[in-house]
Amino acid sequence: MLQNFIFIIFIFLSGLQSFSQDTPFVTYPKQTSDYLKRIQTGKAKYKYNSTVNFREWQIGARKELSRIIGLDKISNDLRNFKPSVIQIEKKTFGNKYTRYLYKIETEPGVDIPFYKLVPTTIQPNDKLPLLLSPHGHDVDGLHSYAGAYINESHRNKIIGRDGNIAEQATLKGMIAIAPATRGLAKELLIPDTKGRHGNRPCRAQLMHCLISGRTPTAERVWDMQKILDWALKDSSIDHEKIIMTGNSGGGVLTAYTSALDERIKISVPSCSFTSITSSTGYIFHCDCCAVPGIKDWGDFSELGGLIAPRPLLIIHGIKDGLHHKMDVEKNAKSIKEIYLDRKVSDKMSISWGESGHKFYPDIMWPFIKKALANISY
């Protein structure tokens, strides 16, 4: 019940019309503002510089990013662990698609449920694109994305905001995977039993991670990579046509995974790809997305640089009360400059939907279609 309440409040805030999209998102008293500006400046060691060797910069920045989020630690701790996958369910929906429910053990005792949707029209020698779509703060997220609705009310809510993104992909002829996001899906919550962390399981996840030398971001990227390892054993998937998208927290996970794993060929983070802080120091993303010392590494503009020269579409809603146009545009401009420097500016785009914190299929599918058509082998 509490998780549903939090989700309702989250959606309410995300749909608010911002009355000041062209002015600072939040203002603080001068003393606070000066303090935040001073401590948040950071060294930005990997801020992109067009005078350096681009590939060497990417290698160094990617290696350091993997270290500071704790992904290296997870990889080292689990170096002898072999993930296992179990099929739980299989359902075929007429001549549309077959939907499989699996779970993958990505580390001892951690089972990540995920749906895999496959068009029923697939032929033995077909090579299809794969869409990987992790969800954000929706406890029913993997079910929402896969069109595996809990009830009619759930179905109407998700269809109403175009949230069945994995199902949409499959109806367009792609294979799609909708995984549970650790700390956000009801199947993978860490209970905040005494309300010590504000009755927010994702914040509880953050605290448990921090004292263990990792972050929720690293755990989630690790899960996506292990799912990809398994998925790419399927001979019907075209390895050059791996797309990743997610909304909100799923978009943040899309950004980090795409930056760290070059197997992702097309990246479409939705309502998420903005700077870590506003010009006045406000932190845009959820606590569970926090990475200690990230400002000494860089910002989301550097994540964009690690995705380059692969196709990148940044989508936001103009009425999204969780992010701010001024800061989104400033971040996107920095990324565009990197793509311009690499002479692939046509592969990076930013677009604005007319509503709030949601997917915008009418924007993302044409971009993905064009990007897929331009992939060369």
Q: Is residue 19 part of a domain?
A: no
Q: Bridge partners of 242?
A: 130
CATH code, 152: 3.40.50.1820
Residue 18 domain-assigned (yes or no):
no
Amino acid at 248: S
Of 266, 228, 244, 232, nearest to 114 by C-alpha is: 228
* pLDDT of 21: 58
In a domain, residue 21? The reply is: no
Task: Give me the pLDDT at residue 9, please.
Answer: 41
Q: Which domain range does residue 339 map to?
A: 2-11+26-373
Domain presence at residue 237: yes
Which residues 6+ apart lie within 8 Å of 53 measured at CB? none
Q: Low-confidence residues of the chain, pLDDT below 50? A: 1-19
Alpha helices in the chain (DSSP H): 2-14, 30-40, 54-69, 71-77, 141-146, 152-160, 165-171, 201-210, 216-231, 249-260, 294-297, 300-307, 325-341, 361-373
Q: What is the dihedral of CA 26, 28, 34, 36, to 10 degrees?
A: -60
pLDDT value at position 22? 62
pLDDT tens digits along 142-190: 999 999 999 999 999 999 999 999 999 999 999 999 999 999 999 999 9
Number of separate domains in the chain:
1
User: Would you say residue 20 lies in a domain?
Assistant: no
Lookup: tokens for 226 = 């292990």
Q: Which residue has the tokens 């949409």?
A: 168
Q: Which of 291, 251, 216 is nearest to 65 (CA)?
A: 291
| Residue 2, pLDDT score | 44
Interior CA angle at 163 toward 106 and 209, to 5°?
35
Is 321 inside any structural domain? yes
For tokens 């080292």, the residue is 76
Is residue 207 situated within a structural domain?
yes
Query: By the 8 A CB rule, do 99 and 210 touch?
Result: no
Reference 37, options 330, 278, 274; nearest CA is 278
Q: Are the C-beta atoms of 252 and 134 separated by less than 8 Å?
A: no
What's the pLDDT at 34? 92
| Contact status, residue 363 vs residue 353, Cβ threshold 8 Å | yes
In a domain, 17, yes or no: no
